[in-house]
Structure 1
Amino acid sequence: MKAFSFILILSVLFISCEIAPKPIEYGSDNCEYCKMTIVDRQHASQIVTDKGRSYKFDAIECMIHYDREYLDQPAAMYLVSDFKMPGELIDATKASYLISPEISSPMGANLSGFNSEAAAEKTKEEYGGELYSWDSIKDHIKK
């Protein structure tokens, strides 16, 4: 019986520390940085730490600010919503970004993420704005 209890406890520990995104409960989860309720499926984002802890955000710029100011452990994953597929989280480090005054985002940076440079470029042609990579958007948001 002791062996079974030990295996059960170990299983629970491994499951609870899984390094994977957690579902964002739109309309009830709050942004870790600004505390606003997350409702916009096109601009939400998430950090998953190397310990499996998930931090959810209502806007990409909130995630970038939180990472710089508060995150006290290494991130295993940075995720952003794909603007063209609302609610679908993609790897933020491989995404392309567009800042366009014609596309509002929750915190006013007008920042959107895309799963490819081609998708971001096509949206830029329609709405205008400036394209960024992961590294360049982090630098831009710091200013």
Structure 2
Amino acid sequence: MNRFLQSYFLLGLVLLIQSCSVSPEPIKFGEDHCAHCKMKIMDPRFGGELVTTKGRIYKFDAVECLVPYLQEHASMEFGYTLAIAYDEPKKLVDVRELHFETDSSYRSPMGGNLAAFRQSQNAIGNELITWEELKEKKFYAPTNP
């Protein structure tokens, strides 16, 4: 009987640990809404996600919404800061692994025409911006109502 209870205790402990893990989740295009501008997230070439150290997830339709949200909530601790690479649609990537470029041909959801690239050679040739530079940039994006 003692071995039986130990097995259940161990199983419960494993389930508890798994349920408390902090991790990102895929964006559900056409269903999820941007935490900053409240628009429905539609374009799989753009988007982002912040995951707090406590596991709360904030999704964004464009980096132009993610950056101002991050700036406005500087006191929050994030375990993940992710964006979708234009050259790898739907795939959330750590922003430190990305390069960013602006060009009117990108037509991002918020009109900033900003795209992220995992492979810098996939960009069209304008000057690439690093995440550290981008974090300091001011974007015009609607604030929460």
Task: Please indicate, yes or no, whether the TM-score normalized by the shorter chain is above 0.5.
Answer: yes
Any runs of at least 4 consecutive aligned residues in structure 1 with deviations exceeding 6 A, and if so which?
none
Q: Over aligned residue pairs, what C-alpha RMSD do you find?
A: 2.3
- In the alignment, the residues of structure 1 paired with residue 43 and residue 84 of structure 2 have an alpha-carbon distance, to the nearest angstrom, of 9
* Higher fraction of helix: 1
Percentage of pairs with the same residue: 33
User: Which residue is equivalent to 2:143?
Assistant: none
Larger radius of gyration: 2
CA distance in 2: counterparts of 1:113 and 1:12, whole angstroms = 36
Work out the CA distance in 1 between the residues paired with 2:17 and 2:74.
Answer: 22
Is residue 44 of structure 2 the alignment partner of residue 47 of structure 1? no
Unaligned runs of 5+ in 2: 141-145
Is there any run of 5+ residues in structure 1 with no aligned partner, and where?
none
Select the structure with the greater relative contact order (CA < 8 A; seq sep ≥ 6). Answer: 2
| Equivalence for 2:136 | 139
TM-score (norm 1): 0.82
Residue 15 of structure 1: SS of its match in structure 2? helix
The count of aligned residue pairs is 136
Distance 1:107 1:20 in 2: 26
1:109 is matched with which residue? 112
Is residue 17–residue 53 contact of structure 1 (8 Å, CA) maintained in 2?
no
